[in-house]
Amino acid sequence: MLNKEIQKALNEQVSVEAQASYNYLAMASWCDKSGLQGAAKFLYRQSDEERQHMLKLFKYINESGGHASTPGIKQAQADYKSIGQVFELALNQEMDNTRCINSLAEICLKYKDYSSFNFLQWFISEQHEEEMLFRSILDKIRIIGNEEKGLFWIDKEIGGIEVKG
């Protein structure tokens, strides 16, 4: 049976993942309408991934005797200055998400809920991978540049990234 405080914190994380999914959807839409189909493809996929993360938490809460609640979502930012800004915001979002997962893990340890702590290990590795991925994209944007020809190449690069499920 989930401790009430852990249930609350897990439900808050459901919101964080759902918000991330919608933020990526808005970023994908902006890239799509800006002719950046490679980046749009990547961000639509990221949006789907975040929804999967949300569902993973959602199901865990219910399977553990808790009650998962549907999250409230804030309107996502619709316009961006550049592809560089999109990926800077994306990296910041991932770093915030890592902090949330870490504090969730601390709450589990505080209440000696080792089962939830163990469940969260998947998210801890996932955050490591995602931060690394977004940092590598930002590095590419800095090297190639995001103007004129550079923009074409960076979009092609991002569109070609294979992400493991």
Task: Enumerate binding residues for ligand FEO (CB under 6 A).
Answer: 17, 20, 50, 53, 94, 97, 127, 130
The nearest distance, CB 10 to ligand FEO, in angstroms, is 13
Least Cα distance to 101 among 37, 12, 3 occurs for: 12
SS3 48: helix
The CA distance from 77 to 89, in Å, is 10
Quick check: 158 and 137 in contact, CB under 8 A?
yes
Roughly how many angstroms between the first and final C-alpha of the chain, as a whole number? 30
The nearest distance, CB 131 to ligand FEO, in angstroms, is 9
The type of residue at 68 is A
The nearest distance, CB 9 to ligand FEO, in angstroms, is 15
Neighbours of 118 (CB within 10 A): 10
The nearest distance, CB 130 to ligand FEO, in angstroms, is 5
Query: Residue number with the shortest CB distance to ligand FEO?
Result: 53
For ligand FEO, the closer of residues 40 and 151 by Cβ is 40
The nearest distance, CB 61 to ligand FEO, in angstroms, is 16
Least Cα distance to 71 among 101, 45, 93, 50 occurs for: 50
